[in-house]
Structure 1
Amino acid sequence: MNYHEIAFPENSLFLVTGGAGFIGSNLTEALLSMGYRVRVLDNLLTGYEKNIAGFRDNPKFEFIKGDIRDAATCDRACEGVSYVLHQAAEVSVPESIEQPVSYTMTNIIGTVNVMEAAAKHGVKKMTYASSAAVYGDDETMPKREEIVGRRLSTYAVTKFVDEEYAYQYTLNYGLDCYGMRYFNVYGRRQDPNGAYAAVIPKFIECLLRDEPPTINGDGEQSRDFVYVEDVVQANLLACAAPHEAAGEAYNVAAGKRSSLNEMYAVLSKLFGKDLKPVFGPERKGDIRHSGADISKIKKNLGYAPEYDFSRGITAAIQWYKENLKA
């Protein structure tokens, strides 16, 4: 459904943690476009000032530069807030294996700090970013929320623990929490740079520059690619959901999966280019196949993805063409 049809009380204040990041800035943009007040909390380590520069002149936008690892900062950020959209996190699977303490401090302690502050200030609803990584080594396909395996990375562990804390805060502390178990999100403002960048923006950047991309492994690993507009929809639906749907985690996906080779073939065709990819080593901690059953989020939250891969990737390519310097 079109998320602009979702209505909240007129003077609602939304806190978006990680609001200068990829998903967070899209949530911020959507809420401002709907006329609501938005406060962003971001330490600008993985988020970017350029992602929020266009919001600075909006009187309904407020920015706090701060870190979720600091409880006092979270407390201040949650004052007067109606809804929390918690996106702040460290998000690289390979990096999490190299830096387990950092990921634990940010993704677990930081998330509990936000939940504690939200509960203290009487926040109505809180959504938080979980991940398909929690499915680990379970081979069930498509992935259903109630069936998980052993986690394969520190990142996956942190997201699984976040879900457990969310259940506790819903059950015992009066804070309705809704887990957004993201699959492979893509779209405008997703950073193509860095060693751990997501695959779609890296591929697009390579094609724009006529450079062959590197595919980790044999390219037959599959993913459920979901466009960021549908992720925005899922979060806002959760903010409007009944208490009975709280304390749960929900697959946020398109409900269809493609191999990396298939995805790259579509991109190549759209660009009209024939650059043979380079195949590199598999990434440590990666899940082989990832596809979502989205029946639970459809039933409980009313989610209905509006972007198939063709529509979403066309919109994404257009954004990168306009915003990436060749």
Structure 2
Amino acid sequence: MSESPILVTGGAGFIGSNLVDVLVARGHPVRVLDNLSTGKRSNLPVDAGVELIEGDVADAQTVRRAVQGCRAVVHLAAVASVQASVDDPLGTHQSNLVGTLNLCEAMREAGVCRVVFASSAAVYGNNGEGQSIDEDTSKAPLTPYAADKLASEHYLDFYRRQHGLEPVVFRFFNIYGPRQDPSSPYSGVISIFTERAQQGLPITVFGDGEQTRDFLYVGDLVEVLLQALEHPTVEVGAVNVGLSHATSLNELLTAIGDVLGKLPPVNYQQARGGDIRHSRANNERLLQRFRLPEPVTDIRTGLARLLGVSGS
């Protein structure tokens, strides 16, 4: 096994720290670049030899230092919030697009080729409404977050063609699991709902609750990311990462109630502008190129693990 580290940008965050845990457990040296704006030192394994560089992907010099000597990169660092990008397009642009460009340049200079990139289903906007979305579905980014993710994909493909980078681009649908911070107003719907349910606080749903999402447990995602790091060759083209299964928010609430044995009052409010009504991945390309765990984690099992309920 190579002694050169794998760099995980955003490695102290929700997805990144779950990935770091598994990399360490499998004997890989790991370097983390994180500005700790939402990530936490406490998310990283203690005494595991993980090198933490506290810094921002928007700072080119810091990114160069982080990339030096690495054998591959998983680029997860981003302001992972649609609403934050609407509120502060310029600020989020620095992390979500300039950060990707800084990483591409640093990799080119250092001769590092393999990069696994977290893009988003948000690049499709409302296209594919009511049907499964494949990778050729027309792109219609509705927010600065989505526009930056799509632009990052194009930059990565340019560096592939021009400089030999090996980007594996994953369009994440709705990832959930432990360490997703429910205290942020920009957090994922599952972490917000479960936190409030555990505390017995009313849950707010924007819209009628019949909007659907394709939820994937973070542990299943990590297995796919690991395969992308180790695969000997990289095929061109972004890959949807989801289960191709639509779950409505009302069904999600029912599942949370089943796992906890109770559910607080649910308040329905007017839908928010820019929210996507239906989102479900066509994951045929994913299944052709990579393997999902067998069995995949169903929503109730994933919720039980997230909530720490016995029997999960």
Alpha-carbon separation, structure 1, partners of 2:4 and 2:219: 21
Which one of the candidate residues 5, 12, 22 is aligned to 1:30? 22
Measured after TM superposition, the shift of residue 280 of structure 1 is 2.1
Alpha-carbon separation, structure 2, partners of 1:273 and 1:252: 31
Instruction: Please list, as runs of the form range in 1=range in 2, the aligned pairs for 1:137-148 lying within 5 A after superposition.
Output: 137-140=126-129, 141-148=131-138
- 1:233 corresponding residue in structure 2: 223
Measured after TM superposition, the shift of residue 12 of structure 1 is 4.0
One-letter amino acid of the counterpart of residue 281, structure 1: Q
- 2:259–2:303: 8 Å Cα contact kept in structure 1? no
Instruction: Please list, as runs of the form range in 1=range in 2, the aligned pairs for 1:159-170 lying within 5 A after superposition.
Output: 159-170=149-160
Asked if 1:302 corresponds to 2:294, the answer is no
- 2:3 corresponding residue in structure 1: 11
Which one of the candidate residues 240, 243, 250 is aligned to 2:233? 243
Measured after TM superposition, the shift of residue 304 of structure 1 is 4.6
- In structure 1, stretches of 5+ residues that fail to align are 1-8, 321-326
Alpha-carbon separation, structure 2, partners of 1:298 and 1:165: 25
* Local SS of the residue matching 2:74: strand
Asked if 1:48 corresponds to 2:48, the answer is no
Alpha-carbon separation, structure 2, partners of 1:270 and 1:301: 31
Measured after TM superposition, the shift of residue 282 of structure 1 is 1.9
- 1:241–1:301: 8 Å Cα contact kept in structure 2? no
* Local SS of the residue matching 1:29: helix
- 2:69 corresponding residue in structure 1: 80
- 2:33–2:52: 8 Å Cα contact kept in structure 1? yes
* Local SS of the residue matching 2:32: strand
Greater displacement, 299-308 / 142-151: 299-308
One-letter amino acid of the counterpart of residue 62, structure 2: T
Alpha-carbon separation, structure 2, partners of 1:303 and 1:194: 30
* Local SS of the residue matching 1:150: coil
Spell out, residue by residue over 1:49-108, the C-alpha distance to the aligned partner (whole angstroms, 9 max, x if none): 2212x33x223x101011111111111101110110000001111221121111221111
- 2:52 corresponding residue in structure 1: 63
Q: Runs ≥4 in structure 1, deviation > 6 angstroms?
A: none
Measured after TM superposition, the shift of residue 148 of structure 1 is 2.4
Spell out, residue by residue over 1:157-199, the C-alpha distance to the aligned partner (whole angstroms, 9 max, x if none): 0111111111111111111001121111000100001221211
- 2:167–2:234: 8 Å Cα contact kept in structure 1? no
Alpha-carbon separation, structure 2, partners of 1:304 and 1:257: 19
Asked if 1:209 corresponds to 2:199, the answer is yes
Measured after TM superposition, the shift of residue 244 of structure 1 is 4.3
- 1:178 corresponding residue in structure 2: 168
Alpha-carbon separation, structure 2, partners of 1:313 and 1:93: 23
Asked if 1:316 corresponds to 2:312, the answer is no
Alpha-carbon separation, structure 2, partners of 1:274 and 1:302: 35
- 1:188–1:319: 8 Å Cα contact kept in structure 2? no
Asked if 1:151 corresponds to 2:132, the answer is no
Measured after TM superposition, the shift of residue 319 of structure 1 is 7.7
- 1:298–1:304: 8 Å Cα contact kept in structure 2? no
Against the structure 1 CA distance between its residues 127 and 299, is the aligned structure 2 distance closer, same or farther, given a 3 Å change threshold?
A: same
Greater displacement, 236-245 / 137-146: 236-245
- 2:210 corresponding residue in structure 1: 220
- 1:3 corresponding residue in structure 2: none
- 2:201–2:265: 8 Å Cα contact kept in structure 1? no
- 2:58–2:98: 8 Å Cα contact kept in structure 1? yes
Which one of the candidate residues 133, 136, 140 is aligned to 2:125? 136
One-letter amino acid of the counterpart of residue 217, structure 1: G
Alpha-carbon separation, structure 1, partners of 2:21 and 2:64: 24
- 1:263 corresponding residue in structure 2: 252
Against the structure 1 CA distance between its residues 49 and 284, is the aligned structure 2 distance closer, same or farther, given a 3 Å change threshold?
A: farther
One-letter amino acid of the counterpart of residue 34, structure 1: R
Aligned length: 308
* Local SS of the residue matching 2:90: helix
* Local SS of the residue matching 2:308: helix
When normalised by structure 2's length, the TM-score is 0.94
* Local SS of the residue matching 1:85: strand
When normalised by structure 1's length, the TM-score is 0.90
* Local SS of the residue matching 1:278: strand
